[in-house]
Each structure stands twice: as C-alpha cells, then as structure tokens.
Structure 1
Amino acid sequence: MCSSADGLRRRRAVFSGIIRHAATVVRVSDTAAAPAHASGANETARAHGLRLQLEMSGDFPAVRTGDSVAVNGVCLTVTSHGEAARTLCFDVVPETVRRSNLATLVSGDIVNVEPSLRLGDQLGGQFVYGHVDATTQIAANEPEGQGFRLWCALPSGLKSLIVEKGYVALDGVSLTIAAVEGGRFAVALVPETLKRTTLGRKTAGASVNIEADPIARYVAALMPRLP
C-alpha cells in the first residue's frame, strides 16, 4: 500500500522523452481508496484525484521521496515507497486525471517511465515537461518497413502546434511528426522505440497522452504580440 508524505521537495523537472524503462501498475485507487476502475470510479477520480502504485523495472535509477518521474509522459512526484524496494507511490491531482489517461490504468498494465534529467545527462530527444495537454485516440497503426506508422487524431486545440517535422510526445515518448493530414497526424515508430516503449502494443481506439513541443507553444503565444 502507498502512504502519503508531507513536506516534499518541489523543483522544476524536465525530461528527454527517450524511454529506457518500464513499470508495472500494482494498484490504482482514488483518494477515497476505491479501485479506480470500479463502476463510477473514473468520475470520482476526476473529482478527487488518484493514488498510483508502480513496480519499477530493476534497472530504473534509484529515486527518493520528492523526486519527479514521468509516467506515460505525466510528471509526477514520488510521495513514498511501497513495501517492496522497487515500488513507488504517486498522488495524481484532479486536473492531471482529467487531462491524461492515468485513470484508465488497471493492475498489471505496463507504463512508460523516465526519471527527470540531471545536470550532465544527455538530452537525446526533445524537452518534455510532463505537462500533458490532452489525450488523443490512435486512428491506425500501419506496418512500415521494420516499424510502424502510428496515426493519431489531432486535438482541435493543438492544430497550430502539430506540424510536419516538428516534435510531439506521446505517452512520454519523444517523436518526430511524419505527416499531418486533415484531422490526424502520424509518427514513425522504429524497432528500438517498439522494443523500449508501450506504443507498439497500442491499437486503434486506444488513448495516449499528448504533449506538444513547448518551443512551438511559446512561438504560437508570442506571434500575436509581434508588431
């Protein structure tokens, strides 16, 4: 079981979107301790938040209470350790529950996880802040060479931020946008991405977290202010 902790260290975190680790969902509960996937529990979780318990892979770096970890692209703070050494616990606030797919998780699910970058770490991907904009649905997963082309619905509020050859993070994975057509966009999944992440297991209709490139966001915000 997870227990909450007070006086957590708060710091700005940033991630690379290069996923090297996975975790298994041990338990998901709302703050009233009802299983999050029980009847009507998603609505309760959206109102009151979630408590998430994960079993990290054996190669996941050691983290302390108060450290930041991206879970399916969502920046979460470690609130405590579970009974097992590799078990980490997180509290998810209602706003994050509403914007992400975390409320759909059930025991046994596999999630992408990434520790926050530290001074001297290689960036490798893009800057990912873990501030998920929304969820989007997978439209198609088409074989392409040794990998796949993943098509996703384009949320209307992000149309100006999703451009061909730009960056996007899906469930925390940094990807280059290969195409934008009508109300959808595509990314290419190479074999290494399929091996390291959960994206290759996603089928049409599945929900993924989306975070637009923060640089594109800043540019879009500044453009109307130019003389």
Structure 2
Amino acid sequence: MFTGLVETIGTVLSYTELDTSSSGGNGVSIVIGDCSSILEDVHLGDSISTNGVCLTVTEFDEAKTQFKVGVAPETLRRTNLGDLTKGSKVNLERAVTSEVRLGGHVVQGHVDTIAAIKSRIPDGNAITFTFQLRDKEYMSYIVEKGFIAVDGTSLTITHVDYDKAEFSIMMVSYTQSKVVMPLKQIDESVNIEVDLTGKLIEKQIEINLANQISNDDSALSKLITKIVEKKIKELVK
C-alpha cells in the first residue's frame, strides 16, 4: 500500500525487453537510479511504486544507489511503463510502514488504465491539467473533489466531464517540483488508479442486489412483484 506522496524522482538507467525464454517472458527488466535517498531501508522483495505501479525490487547495485524490477506483460498492457526509455524520469514511493502518516490517500499501486494529457493551463503559480481516459468505464469511479492517483501522485479532482471521459486536477507549485507530470507534454500518457472506495461500494451494492433478487422473500423482490402486479392490472383495465 502507498499514500500517493512521491518521495523522489528516479531515472531509468536501462530498459531491457525479455524474450520468452527468460523469466517473466515477454516482459521487461528496468534498472532505476538517482534514488539512493529511499533505498537505505528497502530490501529485496520489497515494493516500490514506480509511476504509480507497485513493482517488486529484485536486485540492488553494491552501493545501493539503484534497483532493478521486472515488469510483466499484463502490467505493460495496463500502464504506460512500456513507453519508458533510458533516461526517462519516474515517480518513486516506498510501500508504507506503520509509522507513516497517511498524507495522501490509500493507493494500491494497481493501475486501472492510462489517460492522455489533453491540456495544461497555468492558474497563478498552479497548473490545471485535464486528462482523457483510454478506458471510459472507469469514469464511473471519478467524482469531483474525490481522490485519484496520477502516475502515483495523490491528487484531488477539480472537474469531471463524463461525456468526454475527461477530468481535471490542479497542481500547486510545490508538487510541480516533486513529480514528473510537469515534464510531460500534451498527449503523453499517465497512469491512473481510481479510488478503491468507489469500487468497494459498487461491488457491495451488486452483491446485495443479486442476493435480494434471488430471494423471493426479500424486500426488493416483494417490491418488484408489487410493481409488476400493479402494471399488469393497469393494462388489463
């Protein structure tokens, strides 16, 4: 689990495609450096959010200034990690511990989809970014003033356009200097993780409705029966 508060910006030192004979076949291996400040208490097997994607550390260099991760094909399909090249900058955050203050929101590091940057408009010393989702079905989890993780950064949604599958956030000057998004151009992609709360509520409603519909004695089934009987009587008249 993560907070969406980026700790440092790392640099991709190498990006190697793996063939089918290698472990994790058809995925990639990435080495990330310029991040010694967060590696002191990280161990092999620990998780680091990389542009919002929860990845497992598989190797360090001797001085512990860089780390290596493997990225599976499914992760490449879901995220923008396939766009990385040597020299790319990435947001990094270690998994939370019991001592960490939750300053952002609960972020799993399980990216749902990607979005394209459609506009970036200065507003004083802040910037308003507008994004368009690749997969429109995730718009149902995006609400004004709700949380969202963009490239692993916890942000507040300021505007939503459901018809265009677009949403906006405002990034203050302090955050601009701490994350990679201001370095990106129009139409470049970002990783999107919607707030888990909306997914949990939706699933609970689905399960509850399914259980009530399958139970003839439930309040919902009785209500539906009553409505149907009333409509039949009206048609018979």
**Pair in the same fold by TM > 0.5:** yes
Superposed CA offset, 1:69-99 (max 9, x none)? 0000000000111355211000111111110
Task: Report matched runs for 1:1-227 at 5 Å.
Answer: 14-32=1-19, 48-62=26-40, 63-82=42-61, 84-154=63-133, 155-181=135-161, 182-183=163-164, 184-227=166-209
With 185-194 and 83-92 compared, the bigger mean Cα shift is at 83-92
Letter in 2 for 1:32: D
* Alpha-carbon distance between aligned partners in 1 of 2:116 and 2:104, rounded to the nearest angstrom: 23
Is the 8 Å Cα contact of residues 39 and 64 (structure 2) preserved in structure 1? no
Cα RMSD (Å)? 1.7
Identity between Structure 1 and Structure 2 (%): 34
Partner SS state of residue 221, structure 1 = helix
Paired with 1:25 and 1:169, the residues of 2 have a C-alpha distance of 21
* 8 Å Cα contact 1:56-1:88 kept in structure 2: no
Unaligned runs of 5+ in 1: 1-13, 34-45
Q: Please say if residues 19 and 25 of structure 2, whose CA atoms lie closer than 8 Å, have aligned partners that are also in contact.
A: no
Runs of 4+ deviating beyond 4 Å:
none
Q: Deviations over 1:88-122 (max 9, x none)?
A: 00011111111011111111111000000011111
- Residue 9 of structure 1 corresponds to none
Higher percent of residues as helix: 2
The number of residue pairs the alignment matches comes to 202
Contact preservation (8 Å) 2:150, 2:193: yes
Larger radius of gyration: 2
CA change 1:27–1:84 in 2 (3 A) is farther
Find the aligned partners of 1:195 and 1:153 in 2 and give their Cα distance: 23
Q: Distance in 2 between matches of 1:32 and 1:82?
A: 24
How many Å separate the matches in 1 of 2:7 and 2:63?
21
One-letter identity of the residue aligned with 1:190: V
Query: Which residue is 1:39 aligned to?
Result: none
Normalised to the residue count of structure 1, the TM-score between the two structures is: 0.85
Letter in 1 for 2:93: E
Q: TM-score, normalised to structure 2's length?
A: 0.81
CA distance in 1, matches of 2:27, 2:107: 23
One-letter amino acid of the structure 1 residue matched with residue 138 of structure 2: L
Asked if the contact 2:28–2:70 (Cα under 8 Å) also holds between the matched residues in 1, the reply is: yes
Counterpart secondary structure, 2:74: helix
Kept in 1: contact 2:34–2:65 (CA 8 A): yes
* Secondary structure in structure 1 of the residue aligned to 2:129: strand
Partners of 1:90 and 1:32 in 2: CA distance: 16
SS at match of 1:89: strand
